[in-house]
Amino acid sequence: MTTKNRFVIAIIGILIFASLVFAAFYGFRKIPSIDEQLPPGSSAIEIRITHPDNRTIWPLNFAIPIQIALKGGEPVTSVDLYVNGSLYGTQHIEDESTNQQLLTLWEWQPGVPGNFILTARAMDASGNTGISNT
């Protein structure tokens, strides 16, 4: 391969790379921020994991208490708990109250050491959902 051919291939490679970088940058600018997608207070259900605190360390094979606080404009009918994105369990809520803070309690016992991400999702009687902080 001649030097001229290598130079042409290098220029073509640089142009392709620059085009991809520009397209990615331009495309990501079009994605609305989280606040624009779901402004604070717009969710029908307020839900947050209040226990355990982030980055706490627990012994292996220990039942970890998990507390989830929630409040909705409509009666909340169910709460799902996810561990690392996989459904751990569902609690069905029988209380028909609205605009009242509710607490759900769980116990979860990891079988292996590691870091885990807990997420809660709640649904109300109208089908609205809320997702917790992680």
Q: What is the pLDDT along the chain (134 residues), one digit of tens a residue?
A: 788 888 889 899 999 988 887 777 666 666 555 455 555 554 578 889 999 988 888 888 889 999 999 888 888 889 999 998 889 999 998 866 656 678 888 998 888 888 898 999 998 888 888 888 76
Quick check: 93 and 45 in contact, CB under 8 A?
Answer: no
Residue spans per domain, the chain = 3-31, 45-131
The reported pTM is 0.63
What percentage of the chain's residues is helix, strand, coil (to nearest 5)?
Answer: 25, 35, 40
Q: Which CATH architecture has domain 45-131?
A: Sandwich (2.60)
Fill in the amino acid letter for 110: P
Block residue for tokens 């759900």? 104
Whose CA is closest to 90, among 118, 121, 128, 117?
121
